Amino acid sequence: MMNRNTYPFVATGDVKHIFKILDDLRINYIEEGDTNCLITGESGSGKSELVKRYAAKYPRRELEEYTHIPVLYVQLSSPQTAKAFTQQVLAALGDPQGGRGIKTKEEGFSLIKKYCRECGVELIILDEMQTVIQNRSLGVIANITAWFKDLMNHSKVPVALVGMPWCLGVVKENDELDTRVGYRYYLETFRVSSRFSHFEKFLELFSAGYEFANDFSLLERETAYRLFAYSSGIIRAIRGQIIRAASLAEAAGKPIDLACFQDAIRSRGIKDHNNVFIMPVTELRLREIVNSSKWIQQKSYNKESFQSAEFKTYRLTKKLELIEADDD
């Protein structure tokens, strides 16, 4: 059995493409150019894990004379001021005071530039971009996007912004930032209506290290459809369900079988009549994202500034033929 605290990382075609983009940014950075990027995806699409894995390929190293940080990964929280924003980056760089000693924005950027040069930083990754935008007035958002632009200017290092799809709309609202972000990539979730083989390939690669019962396979078409019905093609949900089933199998001292997946659903408080691994296949509803979440410009902030992703729903016939269904 695989260690329950570890799980495989599947380098899909999308992952490999984004890795190449990040490599290109580091190698071909043009000062004052557009060699910065924005990576977006819905919650659970795997974007954060992707950039964390990329950063792990180029780990921080404590050398005799300095700390080498080829790729600086910063997971943003929700700063109240531009100064607090700068402090998060300085703390990630290893500033002894965690940026608390800075008095002005300019002083903060000067320190960031100094550390980037001394530590050999080749790329800055700012993850969870949406956390600094949510619940903010348009004036504050304008200041934040200006801060991103200033960071790109002062650090002299390419910056990769990572966040929800509607972060693209925010970037576009600031012309100076928009023209500096020349690389944009949307990380799609899996779909059931097209390229379902991509979903099946992911299942094959992710589950390769687990032990399954002889009479059970995630690659059997009906089982794959059932897992899609649970996950809507979202990687976090797919991964979580397989790991939970594997954990139950390990506790029972047996290979993973259908009962493990049924019990994994039950453990989440879902009744059997809604359990996708029990209910008749014709009652399954398979939902896929067809339009990503969006930013809607408003005169003042309110919750409607963010439009949620739109889904299309499908169902199956007894012969496992896929047909459109009404949303319910």
Please classify residue 324 by burial: count the beta carbons closer than 10 Å to its beta carbon, then call 0-12 exposed, 13-18 middle and 19+ buried. exposed
Pairing of strands 67-68, 61-62: antiparallel
Condensed to tens digits (0 to 9), the pLDDT of residues 129-175 reads 988 887 777 777 888 888 899 999 999 999 999 999 989 988 998 99
Whether the predicted pLDDT of 234 surpasses 80 = yes
pLDDT score at 327: 65
- 114-118, 193-197, 202-206, 306-310: which range is least confident on average? 306-310
- 102-106, 232-236, 274-278: which range is least confident on average? 102-106
How does residue 98 score in pLDDT terms, banded at 50, 70 and 90? confident
The type of residue at 103 is: K
SS3 260: helix
Domain 13-186 top-level CATH class: alpha beta
Q: How far are the Cα atoms of 3, 54, 162, 206 from residue 6, in angstroms, in the given order? A: 6, 17, 24, 12
Q: How far are the Cα atoms of 15, 49, 50, 156, 162 from residue 53, in angstroms, in the given order? A: 10, 6, 5, 23, 14
Whether the predicted pLDDT of 7 surpasses 90 = no
Break the chain into its structural domains and give their ranges: 13-186, 189-328
pLDDT score at 301: 47
pLDDT score at 4: 47
Whether the predicted pLDDT of 298 surpasses 90 = no
pLDDT score at 1: 47
Q: How far apart are CA 15 and CA 183, in angstroms?
A: 15
The more confidently predicted of residues 226 and 105 is 226
pLDDT score at 103: 85
SS3 80: coil
Percent of the chain with pLDDT over 90: 72
- pTM score: 0.90
How does residue 100 score in pLDDT terms, banded at 50, 70 and 90? confident
